[in-house]
Structure 1
Amino acid sequence: MADVVLLNKAESIATVTLNRPEAMNALSLELRRALVEAFRDVARDEGVGVVILTGAGRAFCAGIDLKELGGETGQGSAAQAVGGGGNVLAAMEECPRPIIGAVNGFAITGGFELALACDLLIASRAARFADTHARVGILPGWGLSQKLPRLIGIGRAKELSLTGNFVSAEQAAAWGLVNRVVEPEDLLPACRALAADMLSCDPPTLRAYKRLIDRGYGLPLADGLRLEREANLEHVKRVKPADVAERRRAIQERGRRQG
């Protein structure tokens, strides 16, 4: 039997692939357990700087496996199907490495929530997003009702969540749901190029910056600014002038190449 989650590490990039293409990468109990372990693995591995999350086949992720949710495989109640296997979202949120979501196809309901747990999203032109919680008859438990309105506005979020309609990759980009849209064959190369840009930053600062943004995002502005000042004062204690000078030269050289 094939592994339901594939983990590949190369050049400080960990690629986590949901590998149930025959089921549109639906989140079975087995897959959720494997996904939690994959993110715990990369969180522990100091050789990994950035994570890419994607799906095999034509779907990114179709959400919770409805066969399990309906009890057809003996997995028990709906609550067990949604909550069992460990907390996937917690494992992702606790991962200190930036997570790039490479949305290769359908991202539906729980799969949509999985995408929203990534730090940023690159979408294939074949990607489609939908929130079908209301059609299935369950409420979200992985953050969709709170994250989506903050990302694209409450009116657009209600349109998606209260209809269950699909939105295209292009529309998702126009709404600010994804960072950019690329051709299907360019998806992973684009994500790896973005990961390489991140890897060229100072690793401890990269992790601290991600943590600072995440912690401050849900705070009132004044509290967020206070948090930033405190983080700045703590972080600057570890900064060495010689290191800053070397990085400044590297930034200038990079600017000349990009200019």
Structure 2
Amino acid sequence: MLLVDAPSDGVALVTLNRPEAMNALSKALRAELHETLRRLDGDPAVRAIVLTGAGDRAFTAGLDLKELGSDPDGMQAANATDPAENPARAVLACRKPVIAAVNGVAITGGFELALACDVIVASASARFADTHARVGITPGWGLSQKLPRLIGPYRAKELSLTGNFLDARTAYEWGLVNRVVEPAELMPAALKIAADMAQIDADMLIVQKALIDDGYALSLQDGLALEHERSSRHNAGVTPEMVEERRAAVQARSRAQK
């Protein structure tokens, strides 16, 4: 149900592999995703992760509604706090950057999973929908709070109160995704971003990601205080020799890119 590959140094590609079920997040798949992300988080050889779905129909259609309909306790998954049950929390618990390569529809819980990632790259054929209200379930994996913070409350209400699909181009215009590419370019684009991240020291990726995430949850004033506190502590351990070594590496990369 889950494929893990290493397409380049420092990069892991994780694929939800239930294309016959639109990569729906069954209980077993959710548990496997958590275990895989936990393992990759602790693997020093991995610095960035790309998450996608198998096939071209779906990133993921969210919770497996057929499974929920046959399990008396299945609805607990919609409000689960354990990362083994809540895939959004499994992604958020990963200290390393996770890039969502959205190859098809990302519906309801699948939408929430994409929103939990650090970067979203979408195929031109990708579409997003929040159908919680239409199926009678209240969001429990973060969508009701993250979506309005990303695109504003008016647009978020339009999506959540209609259940309508949002196409990839509009999602980009609304600031929901980082970029939109043609389907054939989706994986190369996502893997290129991951490869660029993998060139950064692993500790710096973790520190910088946490600083952005933790600060964003605060007011601006408190976020600035957090930045000052963490920056002062971290930079106290940086020597002139370290700066010079990394400056030379940045210059060499710039020349190579030109």
- TM, length-normalised to structure 2: 0.94
Q: Does 2:151 correspond to 1:152?
A: yes
Distance 1:69 1:86 in 2: 13
Question: Could you report, residue by residue, the CA deviation over 1:220-245 in whole angstroms, capped at 9, with x for unpaired residues?
Answer: 00000000000101111221221210
Give the superposition deviation at 1:203. 2.2
- Which residue number corresponds to residue 188 of structure 2? 189
* Larger relative contact order (Cα-Cα within 8 Å, sequence gap ≥ 6): 2
Alignment of 1:103-252 (within 5 A): 103-252=102-251
Give the alignment partner of residue 6 of structure 2, picking from 9, 14, 18: 9
How many residues align? The count is 253
Q: CA contact under 8 A between 1:68 and 1:76: conserved in structure 2?
A: no
Distance 1:124 1:88 in 2: 22
Amino acid at match of 2:4: L
Q: CA contact under 8 A between 2:77 and 2:86: conserved in structure 1?
A: no
Q: CA contact under 8 A between 2:25 and 2:61: conserved in structure 1?
A: yes
Q: CA contact under 8 A between 1:131 and 1:164: conserved in structure 2?
A: yes
Give the superposition deviation at 1:109. 0.2
Question: Could you report, residue by residue, the CA deviation over 1:21-67 in whole angstroms, capped at 9, with x for unpaired residues?
Answer: 00000111111111111111111111100000000011000010111
- Which residue number corresponds to residue 89 of structure 2? 90
Amino acid at match of 2:31: R
Distance 2:77 2:249 in 1: 50
SS at match of 1:121: strand
SS at match of 1:178: coil
Amino acid at match of 1:46: P
Distance 2:24 2:85 in 1: 16
SS at match of 2:162: coil
- Which residue number corresponds to residue 36 of structure 2? 38
Give the superposition deviation at 1:81. 4.1
Q: Does 2:29 correspond to 1:24?
A: no
Q: CA contact under 8 A between 1:173 and 1:179: conserved in structure 2?
A: yes
- List, as ranges, runs of 4+ consecutive aligned residues in structure 1 with deviation greater than 6 Å: none
Amino acid at match of 2:76: Q
Question: Could you report, residue by residue, the CA deviation over 1:80-101 in whole angstroms, capped at 9, with x for unpaired residues?
Answer: 3433853322221121110000
User: Tell me, which stretches of 5 or more residues in structure 2 are unaligned?
Assistant: none
User: Tell me, which stretches of 5 or more residues in structure 1 are unaligned?
Assistant: none
Identity, % of aligned pairs?
Answer: 58
Amino acid at match of 2:75: A
RMSD: 1.4
Give the superposition deviation at 1:112. 0.1
SS at match of 1:46: coil
The 10-residue stretch of structure 1 (88-97 or 153-162) with the greater mean CA deviation from structure 2: 88-97
SS at match of 1:70: helix
Distance 2:171 2:255 in 1: 33
